[in-house]
Amino acid sequence: MTRHYTHWINGHWTDASYLETIERHSPAHGELLASFSAGNAEDVDQAVGAALELFESRDWSGLPASQKSRALNEWAALIERDTEKLARIEAEEVGKPITFARAEVGAAIEMVRYAAALIWQIPGEAHNHLGEDKLGLVTREARGVVAMIVPWNFPLVTLFQKLPYALAAGCSAVIKPSELTSGTALEVAKLAGEAGLPAGLINVVTGTGTAVGERLSTHPDVAMISFTGSTQVGKKIAANAAKDMRRVSLELGGKGAQVVFADADLEAALDGVLFGTILNQGEECVAGTRLLIEDGVADAFVERLVERARKVAIGMPLDEECQLSSLIHEGHMRSVLDYIAIGKEEGATLVAGGERITEGELGKGYFVDTTIFTNVTPEMRIFREEIFGPVLTVSTFSSVEEAIRLANDTEYGLGNGLWTKDVDKAIQVSQRLRSGTVFVNTYLETAVQMPFGGFKQSGVGRENGLEGLLEFTELKSTFIKMGKREPVLPNTVD
């Protein structure tokens, strides 16, 4: 059944009198899934107005920790109740396997509960060594209205790495989900209303980046823009924000390396490398799609990797057995196939996949098989650029120094992995990998208490952890004089 949505502003659905809508068809089989309102600047103004009014009323930011925390936990319970519905929407709209979509809903719930717990201990400082008669307080205040602009690959997780933390800090939010995958953002905003969170706290305006995103990220009443998406759009947002010193946090692209040393548990490494390549069809900012493998074990490792890649279960998003599903849309599939053609032209050797799947029911969608290139060198575009598909490049190294140099030879710095049984090597190499996250003998782990974000062009700021909450606060220093104040300018006193 097709779902029809309008915007969610100030605690209710907006009028359905929109002439323009955006239709979302399944990337896996083409059927119509949903329609969203194609928002414009007026919709954004309305949503920002509602968020600002609530913020200034202090009806949310002024609540004690206990009440905010309870309200967020009630919201988490409703999201949990609706897990299956939300997972299905996420799987259908993104074209991702339902089992991964369920895990994504689970992660979102954890983030709400964790942020609800953090509210109890938002830190501050008191300084009583400023002199006998003075006290200094360092407090944290909510920044205000936060614009949250998120991508299509993990619509819920990318949103929930921001939203509960911002609410915990006392901010209100205007969300612009991707126009391809807006369903779950709208559903969770509605659930927040059901949980009793005040109207205006969470607003969702759907539409394109140019019509909605640009207005939202340049709106004078928006105190902070929290953006997740491509480095290209992130730079635009940062440039706009610089004009009036608006606060920004940016979670951007990546090109993660998986460094496999000869002394690693190679069985585990095979599994981790394949998982890091195919999770979410490779449409994953932390995807580990540059395999760097030590010379002596490279040939045998790649041979076994290719065998395993052939066994990956490709299927429709709602198929419980499916491990790899459809890419997000035709244009993106073409871009992934173009990169595969570029890899061949650049002289890399294609050893697995490399094709769109055209047979059977999968032929209706945008399915690309797990693709592996060997003989990849650092100057090749497939080594340097974010492909955002299930495409792994393989390069070899012969020393620890060479491995580190190759891993860091990228403008990105989001996540990297390394595989070795040598503890000293694991620690020393992990310290020299220039990325916000390093996975040792594992890949793509997440935990709400561990901050997430990028070095270099992978972003600015951190999400999750206490740091993730503090991003949504401003620091204030308050000096308090106790007792009668002696004038600093005595000759001016009558």
Residues 344-383 that bind ligand NAD (CB under 6 A): none
Binding mask 227-266 for ligand NAD (x = CB under 6 A): -xxx--x--xx-------------xxxx------------
Binding mask 383-402 for ligand NAD (x = CB under 6 A): ---x-x--------------
CA neighbours closer than 13 Å in the CB half-sphere of residue 389: 30
Q: Does 446 bind ligand NAD (CB under 6 A)?
A: no
Residues 157-186 that bind ligand NAD (CB under 6 A): 158, 176, 178-179
Q: Does 285 bind ligand NAD (CB under 6 A)?
A: yes
Q: How far is CA 66 from the centre of its chain?
A: 28
Residue 217 or residue 416: which is nearer to ligand NAD going by CB? 217
- Judge whether 132 counts as a catalytic residue: no
For 449-476, give one letter per residue: b (16+ CB within 10 A) or e.
eebbbbbbbbbbbbbbbeebbbbbbeee
Residue 179 or residue 294: which is nearer to ligand NAD going by CB? 179
- CA 419 – CA 456 distance, rounded (Å): 23
- Decide if 6 contacts 18 (C-beta within 8 A): yes
- Decide if 19 contacts 358 (C-beta within 8 A): no
Residue 187 or residue 251: which is nearer to ligand NAD going by CB? 251
Judged by CB under 6 A, the residue of 214, 294, 369, 471 near ligand NAD is 214
We find the least distance from the C-beta atom of residue 78 to ligand NAD, in angstroms, to be 25
Q: Which helix (H) or strand (E) holds 157?
A: helix 155-160
Judged by CB under 6 A, the residue of 459, 461, 465, 468 near ligand NAD is 459
Catalytic residue among 93, 187, 214, 251: 251
Judged by CB under 6 A, the residue of 106, 136, 198, 209 near ligand NAD is 209
Surface-to-core class of residue 242, CB atoms within 10 Å of its CB (0-12 exposed, 13-18 middle, 19+ buried): exposed
We find the least distance from the C-beta atom of residue 266 to ligand NAD, in angstroms, to be 28
Catalytic residue among 90, 92, 285, 322: 285
Q: Does 436 bind ligand NAD (CB under 6 A)?
A: no
As given in the structure block, the two tokens for residue 130 are 């400023």
CA neighbours closer than 13 Å in the CB half-sphere of residue 129: 1
- Decide if 22 contacts 36 (C-beta within 8 A): yes
Residues 93-152 that bind ligand NAD (CB under 6 A): 149-152
- Judge whether 285 counts as a catalytic residue: yes
- CA 214 – CA 224 distance, rounded (Å): 14
Number of H helices, E strands in the chain: 16, 21
- Binding-site ranges for ligand NAD (CB under 6 A): 149-154, 158, 176, 178-179, 208-210, 213-214, 217, 228-230, 233, 236-237, 251-254, 285, 386, 388, 414, 454, 459
The catalytic site residues sit at: 251, 285
